[in-house]
Structure 1
Amino acid sequence: MLAHPTLDKLNAMGLAGMAKAFGELVANGEAEHLSHAEWLGLLLEREWSSRYDRKLAARLRFAKLRHQATPEDVDYRADRGLDRALFMKLLGGDWINAHDNLAICGPSGVGKSWLACALGHKACRDDRSVLDQRVPRLFAQLALARGDGRYARLQR
């Protein structure tokens, strides 16, 4: 079997993740003992992971989150009055599906923006669109959009 034409075809079809995995499997001596189904499974898994990672990176870039916060990094022991059960429920995203709003309140410096970014990061991982914006800028954009006819599109 010729590896180079196969790699070229995979890349031409836009299957870069699969092409990379194929190159690694061909170079790996232990891969000869895998069945055809196992080879195919590994190639498909790598392609799916590659596409998911690219899509997640694009969503995170578009979200413009101010903090590199993830839900796994939340410290529930810190004295900020954060209810772990409530935050875990928020991470589930049911409030997003119900089109509910979320307001995070508290004294200055307790990490409200950081927690919001952690929720945004989780939403991006759940294949949802996110945009982090401060309220004054959001209101200014809504007012401008109302004037030039983009209001409905901006709300979506």
Structure 2
Amino acid sequence: MLTHPTLDQLNTLGLHGMAKAFGELIDNDEARGLAHADWLAMLLDREDVHRQDKRLGARLRHARLRHLAVPEDIDYRAPRGLDRGLLTALIKGEWIKNAENLVITGPTGVGKSWLACALGHKACRDNHSVLYVRVPKLFDDLALAHGDGTIGRRFKSLAAVQLLILDDWGLEPLDAQARHDLLEILEDRYGRRSTIITSQLPVAAWHTVIGEATYADAILDRVVHNAHRLDLSGDSLRRLAPKPVA
């Protein structure tokens, strides 16, 4: 068999998964006894896996998740009021298909951002587009976009992503522009896309942070109406983590 020309042709055609598998199989004594159909099936399977991995890598790069978190690493033992049943259901991902929201609240250090990123990672694995942003930086970026005329394009990109993670919401009161921008983002996404919001503040305190009753009612209606809730409590996991040995 013309091994090297075959490998070159597979790579030229962009079938890199098949090319790698072909190189491994041709040097495998056990594989030489396989029927042609079995060879082809194995090569196609490897190409499919290779392409899935590439797509996942692209989705994760676009998501820009803050933490390298996956659902398999969630610590259910830490005393933070984590609803394991609800989280198990969230990991399955039906809520994203149904364009529902998730609100994660609790004091600093209990793992709100980490859990949001773990769910974001699972959404990427489920072939959903994901974007993570910290709310203070988002408002700064949107203010610049208003200035340079790119705000329409920015709103469009935020509306398109299937799961938007808004982290660290409520650190400071909103000004008029931020209120308007947040309502625009949530209005574009309501009933069409899913949003995760993490906050140190309980939902009952969000009215005060938004700062204007009409906007507050409209924003909360678009977030809380169809939102799952993870209300965490307890001490900071950072303080509970073991200190490195000197």
Structure 2 length as normaliser, TM-score?
0.60
**CA shift at 1:100, angstroms?**
1.9
Which structure shows the bigger proportion of residues in strand conformation?
2
Q: C-alpha distance in 2, partners of 1:100/1:146? A: 29
**CA shift at 1:136, angstroms?**
1.7
Task: Give the aligned partner of residue 131 of structure 2.
Answer: 131
Q: C-alpha distance in 2, partners of 1:36/1:54? A: 27
Q: C-alpha distance in 1, partners of 2:76/2:117? A: 16
**CA shift at 1:38, angstroms?**
1.1
Gaps of 5+ in 1: none
Q: C-alpha distance in 1, partners of 2:42/2:138? A: 45
CA-atom RMSD in angstroms: 1.5
Moved over 6 A (4+): none
Q: C-alpha distance in 1, partners of 2:134/2:97? A: 22
Contact kept? 1:142, 1:154, Cα under 8 Å: no
Which residue identity lines up with residue 108 of structure 1 in the other structure?
Answer: T
- Of residues 148, 151, 158, the one that matches 1:154 is 158
The 5 Å alignment of 1:1-150 reads 1-142=1-142, 145=145, 148=149, 149-150=152-153
- Aligned partner of residue 67 in structure 1, secondary structure: coil
**CA shift at 1:138, angstroms?**
2.3
Q: 1:79-120 deviations in whole A, cap 9, x for unaligned?
A: 111111100111121221222221110111110111011001
Contact kept? 1:18, 1:46, Cα under 8 Å: yes
Q: Which moved more, 1:97-106 or 1:4-13?
A: 97-106
Which structure shows the bigger proportion of residues in helix conformation?
1
- Aligned partner of residue 31 in structure 2, secondary structure: helix
Relative to 1, partners in 2 of residues 1:140 and 1:94: Cα closer, same or farther, differing over 3 Å? farther
Q: C-alpha distance in 1, partners of 2:156/2:53? A: 30
- Aligned partner of residue 105 in structure 2, secondary structure: coil
Q: Which moved more, 1:146-155 or 1:98-107?
A: 146-155
Gaps of 5+ in 2: 161-246
- Aligned partner of residue 103 in structure 2, secondary structure: coil
Q: C-alpha distance in 1, partners of 2:33/2:77? A: 49
Larger radius of gyration: 2
Which residue identity lines up with residue 155 of structure 1 in the other structure?
Answer: A
**CA shift at 1:139, angstroms?**
3.0
Aligned residues: 156
User: Identity of counterpart residues, as a percentage?
Assistant: 64
Q: 1:19-61 deviations in whole A, cap 9, x for unaligned?
A: 0100111111111111111111110111111111111111111
Relative to 1, partners in 2 of residues 1:139 and 1:98: Cα closer, same or farther, differing over 3 Å? farther
